[in-house]
Structure 1
Amino acid sequence: MRLDVLNRGYSPSTKLLFTVIRLFSRQPVPDAAKLVFYRPDFYGSRAKEFTHEAMRGPSAWSVADRELMAAYVSKVNESAFCIGAHTATASQAYQDTPRVVAVLDDLDSAPVEEPLRATLRMLGKLIAAGTVSSADMREVLAAGVTPRQVEDALAVCTAFNTTNRLADAFGFEVLSPEGFASGAKYLLKRGYR
């Protein structure tokens, strides 16, 4: 059930921003945006900064790789809104929708490099089991992933594990393919701030 709190309680400047977004995108404002503007002092400002750093900050992982990580974490968490949003964003970032779909359908046979596959496998285990072992980490490092890349992947995982749970708790509305594509275009152009 979608919580009504996302439909009210915004400042006049935020309401104006939402109107501008709707006019230019010709799509509804995603609930993810509404959530970060609802209580910016409590959650929104910190969440935007952390997520932006995880997704767009300096990293050996490409933006497309990190968006794919977000989609994969969302898939493991079964978060419909976030799967749609980050599948669309990863697809646009890679310019390769079949590759993204293949990863989400069957990681083991998907056409991705082994460091990324090992990292996604580790993130999936962390989400599903709530823990990873030193053997799991050694496996990721043996696949050619650097310790810094592991940290960066864990930051993406943290950001989207939190967002997935909020999306499901608030009952985020699943957008149309056009809505997700519009949101992806925005995220690739401006990031998460």
Structure 2
Amino acid sequence: MRPEILNSGYRPATRLLFAMIRLFTRQPVPDAAKLVFYRPEFYGNAAKEFTHEAMRGPSAWSVADRELMAAYVSKVNRTAFCVGAHTATANRASGNPTRVAAVLTDPESAPIEEPLRATLRMLGKLTRSGEVSAADMREVLTAGATRQQVEDALAVCAAFNITDRLADAFGFAVLSPEGFDAGAKYLLKRGYR
């Protein structure tokens, strides 16, 4: 259920920012932005910092890989807005939409490295069941991912399991391909802050 407050409950400075976004991008402001700006002191500021660190902080995973993880977790959750947003961002970051589509269709047969494949398998299991075992972690490490890469992937998974649930709970509108592409450009230039 989409609360009307996400359309109108903003301070004047935020309304001005949204007007500028619409003017420069010629696209609607994504509901994800509306949510983080609605009550920034309660949710938005903390969510932006956590997500920015997970997606753009130091990591052996590339930005493209982390965006692909976000799209994959969102696909497992069947959250259309986040699948669209992070598929567009992974496409732009990687420059390889064919690879991104292959991973989202079937990571087991996609042309990706084994550490990423094993990591996606583990993230999918964690997202579906809410738990993973020591054996699941050993599989990822044996495939060549480092402990730090596992931690970084888990941070991406946590960020997008939260965001996906909020997107579904608040009924985030699915953007046009142009809207998702405009968002991808922004996310790659400015990150999640």
Distance, in Å, in 2 between the alignment partners of 1:186 and 1:102 is 24
Percent pairwise identity? 78
Matched, 1:100 2:70: no
2:89 aligned residue? 89
Match of 1:161 in 2: 161
Query: Which residue of 2 is the match for residue 112 of structure 1?
Result: 112
Where do 5+ consecutive residues of structure 1 fail to align? none
Q: Distance in 1 between matches of 2:58 and 2:14?
A: 30
Number of residue pairs matched by the alignment:
193
1:174 correspondence with 2:190 = no
Q: Report matched runs for 1:1-193 at 5 Å.
A: 1-193=1-193
SS at match of 1:108: coil
| CA distance in 2 between partners of 1:65 and 1:107 (Å) | 13
Cα RMSD, aligned residues only: 0.6
Distance 1:110 1:5 in 2: 42
1:111-161 deviation line (CA, Å, top 9, x unaligned): 111100100000000011110010000000000000000000000000000
Query: 1:11 offset after TM fit, Å?
Result: 0.6
Length-normalised TM-score, structure 2: 0.99
Question: What's the offset of the Cα at 1:4?
Answer: 1.6
Alpha-carbon distance in 1 for matches of 2:169, 2:144? 37
Q: Which runs of 4+ in 1 moved over 2 A?
A: none
Q: Distance in 1 between matches of 2:6 and 2:157?
A: 24
For residues 43-62 of structure 1, the C-alpha deviation after alignment (integer angstroms, 9 at most, x for no partner) is 00000000000000000000
Deviations 1:150-186 (A, max 9, x none): 0000000000000000000000000000000000000
* 8 Å contact from structure 1 (residues 2, 173) kept in 2: no
Query: Which amino acid is 1:136 matched to?
Result: D
SS at match of 1:27: coil
Provide the C-alpha distance between the structure 2 equivalents of 1:128 and 1:102, rounded to a whole number of angstroms.
20
What TM-score, normalized to structure 1? 0.99
